[in-house]
Structure 1
């Protein structure tokens, strides 16, 4: 009886996954396993010698951690940046977003959170400045489920913007995606761009393995795990590239 019930629930969750209804996926998982137990996990101090248990101490430690992670200095020398070719400026990226573009961005926001289509106030277009409320984010940390839970580095964080800020960021992302598809990036990078997901890369890797097995030839693969790769991107080099 219990096995049949679990099979039905698993099939239900799979249908949600197939339709990309992640909200229902999490809701169904919560119905099976119950709500997450919320609590404040003790953390080790910066020196990793003292266990912090008081809430204020833990919050200060998280603030210290995010301050260091989000302000990492790049290890790339200025000489390397100077050798990068400056691409031609795309002046269309500076144009105020039209109403259809704004509506499209609203439609891309997850279901259940979308506001009305006039979420961006006219002051953005008039003054050319982004309201501070659009840029303020609430940082939520999630345990990676591996390693010592008392170490900040074993958690990943999510920056949660308010809905108006999410729409504004989505407009910028859509523009940059279209800009980068104009031959600025080579074909191979996967995992951070449209139509180039990690699934495609896994498929390519499996194809290489199978072909090498058929041809009875060696295949050498290198896996590189860069520490905080996206947090240490050199901004000067990035601006020259895009």
Structure 2
């Protein structure tokens, strides 16, 4: 008998079963096109499962918080609030120095992470920069101040259920009343436009380390993601919406990453088919990975 977490719903279990079926379909596909189609369907269902789990878990915790508030259970309210805000800390993992020695002191561990990311992110410029032709800059892009309608659209486009930046303002707070938020941000964005200077708080972020694979104590086995203030992301989204169509027309069809209605998953499926054909026809294949 399986024991599921209390917030797991029947709909999620059905989606998980559908994901299993899609994964099985990949292995039983007879042709390359069937396999590529099955893999695309699996990827989409997998996204739906993860999205549903996040949504249902959050709703479950919020319902608990409301119940605790009605009953006046302040201890439970405090614990749930910490969980909702993400302010619960896990114990620090052991980390190794560059020489491979284990660091147990928490302050020294943090200093090691600072050292690691400084070296990783602050690489010196190459001595002999490549001679690459500069991209054109004369695009027909609106350079007037952001309008309220543009800001409304940008707020709606910001994804929910994402961690907030250093200001601790989540996307849901801005979306609670899009019209009111847009009016407030319109004043701020126009000030930024006139003074050509963004708030210094927008230049700060929370650097979170995420394990890729391998030894948990080796800093090189982690990648960092930076959590930035959501209002700054709204401003960036306004700029992106203005630039996207002009820039998109200049990009190659082969580029799928960071483009609307495209996915690297499709490119991966195409590459797998090319590899399979190369093996089937016993022909040479050269692949260049650039990061």
Q: TM-score, normalised by structure 1?
A: 0.71
Q: What CA distance in whole angstroms lies between the structure 1 residues aligned with 2:193 and 2:126?
A: 37
Displacement of 1:85 = 3.7
Aligned to 1:158: 225
1:161-206, CA deviations, whole angstroms, 9 ceiling, x for partnerless residues?
A: 12211212222333443332122x2211232333331111023224
- How many residue pairs were aligned? 217
Aligned to 1:167: 234
1:117-128 to 2 correspondence within 5 Å? Answer: 117-118=182-183, 120=185, 121=188, 122-128=190-196
- From the superposition, tell whether residues 40 and 124 of structure 1 become closer, same or farther in structure 2 (CA, over 3 Å): same
Say which structure, 1 or 2, has more relative contact order (CA 8 Å, 6+ apart). 1
User: Given the alignment, which residue of 105, 122, 141 partners 1:54?
Assistant: 105
Structure 2 counterpart SS, 1:96: coil
Structure 2 residue 204 is matched with structure 1 residue 136: yes
Aligned to 2:32: none
Aligned to 1:43: 95
Larger helix fraction of residues: 2
Structure 2 residue 150 is matched with structure 1 residue 101: yes
User: Given the alignment, which residue of 171, 188, 191 partners 2:257?
Assistant: 191
Displacement of 1:49 = 3.5
Q: What CA distance in whole angstroms lies between the structure 2 residues aligned with 1:223 and 1:57?
A: 39
8 Å CA contact retained: 1:209, 1:219: no
Output the aligned Cα RMSD: 3.7
Gaps of 5+ in 1: 230-242
Displacement of 1:118 = 3.6
Structure 2 residue 283 is matched with structure 1 residue 218: yes
8 Å CA contact retained: 1:119, 1:164: no
Larger Rg: 2
Aligned to 1:64: 115
Q: What CA distance in whole angstroms lies between the structure 2 residues aligned with 1:117 and 1:188?
A: 36
Gaps of 5+ in 2: 20-43, 61-82, 162-170, 175-180
- From the superposition, tell whether residues 3 and 169 of structure 1 become closer, same or farther in structure 2 (CA, over 3 Å): same
Q: What CA distance in whole angstroms lies between the structure 1 residues aligned with 2:16 and 2:89?
A: 22
